[in-house]
Structure 1
């Protein structure tokens, strides 16, 4: 079975459709030349791949009414806490522990770190 993976550029071109590049860029509040680079996938001057900021991706998501989290996942940034706000929460990679943590009274950062250590000890003990 063949699976087609879209690049960011291909996705942006598809989302833009027949809309003029300048019009789409204006709605995103970015320059049309930057949007053109995003659609090409690389910086025309350097040839390096483009890595848009989280703010730019949010503007794109808003302009095209496209899910921001799906967009960052599609471009490979879903494991980066800079792009994925969910990863900034305690225990982001453990939904069960995160759900339990959210039921606790408010904890400060030091208390959260203690909880993480305790969880790691409990979790490691269960693997033996």
Structure 2
């Protein structure tokens, strides 16, 4: 593990800025005393040197709206790497990707022209990568599945499946039940927009479900 950035506690204090310790505690879920200990880099009760865990850094990242990756680097958990365009996932045309499957060792990009597997370069690359998915319209639909909603054209709610063509004959993905519940309305709106049924959705949701199935019945 790398050495923690010198002055890391002061850096955390600068991130907090004018925010009070109690406000920071409320936003992060950490105690205000512990946050102050981290800023001083020692436990004031025992005078022992302390270092925040990755979980603690994630809470501070969210509370201070600061990059989790950068905090991990400065805390010594990640080694900053020079990432070239030849090996970073972020250089791929994200708008062409239908969905992404993630394993512990690689990323699999699924496009209309085929699949492409890339090795997981590092935790740093992966952290940057996850930060960008939401920006590009991806939603997490299972533990290891991220779907580009801009390509979804059919939603089979009874089977929990998403298709990337209006007839439901292309490749499909199955989404987790709790994700389906969370994104049900969003998926209906997405498909309605992609199939030209926006207005129908707003006036009568039940008609949207029927209208999404009607073209399929007509082509069988």
Q: Under TM normalisation by the shorter chain, which class is it?
A: 0.5 to 0.7
Which position in structure 1 is the counterpart of 2:210? none
1:90 and 2:113 matched: no
Higher relative contact order (CA 8 A, sep 6+): 1
Q: Which runs of 5+ in 2 are unaligned?
A: 80-102, 107-116, 121-220
Which position in structure 1 is the counterpart of 2:36? 36
1:25 and 2:25 matched: yes
Work out the CA distance in 2 between the residues paired with 1:6 and 1:25.
Answer: 24
Shift in Å at residue 44 of structure 1? 1.2
TM-score between both structures, scaled by the size of structure 1: 0.56
Which position in structure 2 is the counterpart of 1:70? 70
TM-score between both structures, scaled by the size of structure 2: 0.34
Which structure has the larger Rg? Answer: 2
Shift in Å at residue 78 of structure 1? 1.1
RMSD: 2.3
Q: Which runs of 5+ in 1 are unaligned?
A: 80-87, 92-98, 103-128
Q: Does the C-alpha gap of structure 1 residues 71 and 101 become closer, same or farther in structure 2, counting only changes over 3 Å?
A: closer
Work out the CA distance in 2 between the residues paired with 1:42 and 1:33.
Answer: 11
